[in-house]
Each structure stands twice: as structure tokens, then as C-alpha cells.
């Protein structure tokens, strides 16, 4: 495993498993399998409705809590009462602290939500703070109103959409980038690009492993998800080789400014704020 140090000195693995779209049963099994084969970073969210299952997978694995970097997110409908939301997510996960906590969406009273996260951070209940899916204006609004600069931003990122402009901004604050859709939402036209097929043959890896290795070498944190134990194991087997500078330049040339998730904030707000799920009603 490789690690990065966040702008507050916290040590974070650069590769982990995501649990987006996983049912409680699948999330529990995937977390267990991931921890068993060496993963130490787990990503979930209140809105995924599988936090309790993630907690069970952690307990089942036998891996000490201190050796796991646990990430979750509070939902926009909870921002007005963020203290309560954080207490409830701790209970669902069965832990007394979270390694990295995100605001999940940039809608609703996200400034109040961030202030609740800051209180949890200062109380030792959260070790690092993050923003997920925030566009530039709302990202800057948090920076203008926060007391604790965020440590990580989570956004869509992959070779077709490498987030170069955002990463230049993040460098100014020492902030990390966590990539979701790291494989381009499974787009075969991306995964089967000639450069990845050629490098996969050279390094005796899969195309997906080449892409994930590219992410870690350019400084991204990756959280590919899977239900398949073999895929879970394969997605972590990316640290035994190093892409050359020329190979990284070849991959950089694939930038198409193409996103797979591109809903306007106005549409997001209409959809997200209308969902009043009871996150405690989890199996």
C-alpha cells in the first residue's frame, strides 16, 4: 500500500474500496473481502444506506479499527442538524471516530453542515474533513467561511476527465483529490484505449489496473467498488510496477473533458432536497 499525508498530517491510503450502489449484504461481504486481502481504506455514505453493513464487515474482518481509514458522508437534508447526523453515523458504523467525513452534496445549508463537521473535528470525532461534488463557487464559499481548511475533495476523475484545473487549486491548500468513477463508469472505450492495452501487456496487468495505477501516480486517491472477490483483489494489485514519465504523458493526452455525471446544480437540488430518507432505518 502507498499513502499520502493530508494537510493536517493525517496519513491516508491512496487506494480503497467504495460501497456506492452496494446492498447491505453486498457491502458487508465486500468490506470483509477487501480488508482480508489488504485494503485499509473503506468509503461509504449515509445515503448509500449500508453504513451498518460496513460496520459489520469491519468487525467480521478482525482488522483493528486503528488500522482502518474509514470514510463516510452526511447528506444535504441533514446539514441543519449536523451534530445529530454525525452522532447517528458513528452509531451506525459502530465506531467512536471517523477518519474522513464529507459533505455529500453542495446543496441546502452546506455552510452549517460544514460547521458541524468542524465541531466534530475539534472534538476528535472526525480526523479529516472533505467536500464531495462541490463546484468552484460553492467550494470557494466554504473556504471563505471555514475555520478548518478541508483535507480532501471527492469528485469524478479519470483519464477522460483528469480534473487538472481543480488539482491546481487544491495544491494551494495541500488538499487531496479522491476520484469516483476512476474507471470512467466502466466505459469500454476508455478502458480499452490502445495505450492501456499496450501497457497492460508490458506490465502483465489488466487495463483497469493500469488506469488505477495512473491515478495513484498522479496523486489521486481511488475507491473502485466491486462485489466480486477476484475484482476486489485485482483492484489493489497495482503497486508492484511504476509507469514511466513518458507513459504518464501518453495517458495525459487522453483528456477529453468528458464527464459521465453532469447534472446541473439546480436539477440536483430539486432531486436531492426532496429525498427525506431515514438513514437509521438500515439493515
Whole-angstrom distance, CA of residue 101 vs CA of residue 176? 13
Residue 110 bears catalytic tag: no
SS3 at position 169: helix
Contact 40, 14 (CB under 8 A): no
Phi-psi map region of 125: left, alpha, beta (phi>0 left; psi -120 to 50 alpha): alpha
Residue carrying C-alpha cell 468552484:
136
In the set 32, 39, 48, 121, the catalytic residue is 48
Instruction: Give bridge partners of residue 43 from the DSSP assignment.
Output: 18, 71
Whole-angstrom distance, CA of residue 159 vs CA of residue 137? 24
Whole-angstrom distance, CA of residue 16 vs CA of residue 40? 7
Which has the closest alpha carbon to 216: 33, 6, 4? 4
Residues classed as catalytic: 48
Amino acid at each position: 500500500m502507498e499513502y499520502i499525508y493530508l494537510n493536517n498530517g493525517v496519513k491516508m491510503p491512496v487506494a480503497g474500496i467504495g460501497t456506492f450502489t452496494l446492498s447491505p449484504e453486498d457491502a458487508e461481504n465486500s468490506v470483509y473481502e477487501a480488508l482480508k486481502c489488504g485494503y485499509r481504506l473503506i468509503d461509504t455514505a449515509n445515503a448509500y444506506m449500508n453504513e451498518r453493513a460496513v460496520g459489520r464487515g469491519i468487525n467480521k474482518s478482525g482488522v483493528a479499527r486503528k488500522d482502518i481509514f474509514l470514510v463516510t458522508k452526511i447528506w444535504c437534508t441533514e446539514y441543519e442538524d449536523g451534530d445529530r447526523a454525525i452522532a447517528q453515523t458513528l452509531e451506525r458504523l459502530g465506531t467512536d471516530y471517523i477518519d474522513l467525513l464529507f459533505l455529500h452534496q453542495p446543496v441546502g445549508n452546506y455552510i452549517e453542515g460544514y460547521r458541524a463537521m468542524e465541531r466534530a473535528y475539534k472534538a476528535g470525532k472526525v480526523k479529516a474533513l472533505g467536500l464531495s461534488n462541490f463546484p468552484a463557487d460553492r467550494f470557494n464559499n466554504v473556504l471563505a467561511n471555514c475555520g478548518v481548511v478541508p483535507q480532501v475533495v471527492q469528485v469524478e476523475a479519470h483519464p477522460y476527465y483528469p480534473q487538472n484545473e481543480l488539482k491546481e487549486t487544491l495544491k494551494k491548500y495541500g488538499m487531496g483529490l479522491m476520484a469516483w468513477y476512476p474507471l470512467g463508469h466502466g466505459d469500454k472505450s476508455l478502458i480499452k484505449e490502445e495505450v492501456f492495452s499496450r501497457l497492460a501487456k508490458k506490465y502483465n496487468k489488466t487495463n483497469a489496473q493500469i488506469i488505477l495505477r495512473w491515478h495513484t501516480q498522479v496523486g489521486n486517491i481511488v475507491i473502485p467498488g466491486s462485489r466480486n472477490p477476484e475484482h476486489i483483489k485485482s483492484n489493489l494489485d497495482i503497486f508492484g510496477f511504476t509507469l514511466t514519465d513518458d507513459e504518464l504523458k501518453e495517458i495525459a493526452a487522453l483528456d477529453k473533458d468528458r464527464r459521465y455525471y453532469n447534472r446541473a446544480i439546480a436539477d440536483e437540488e430539486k432531486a436531492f432536497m426532496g429525498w427525506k430518507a431515514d438513514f437509521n432505518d438500515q439493515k
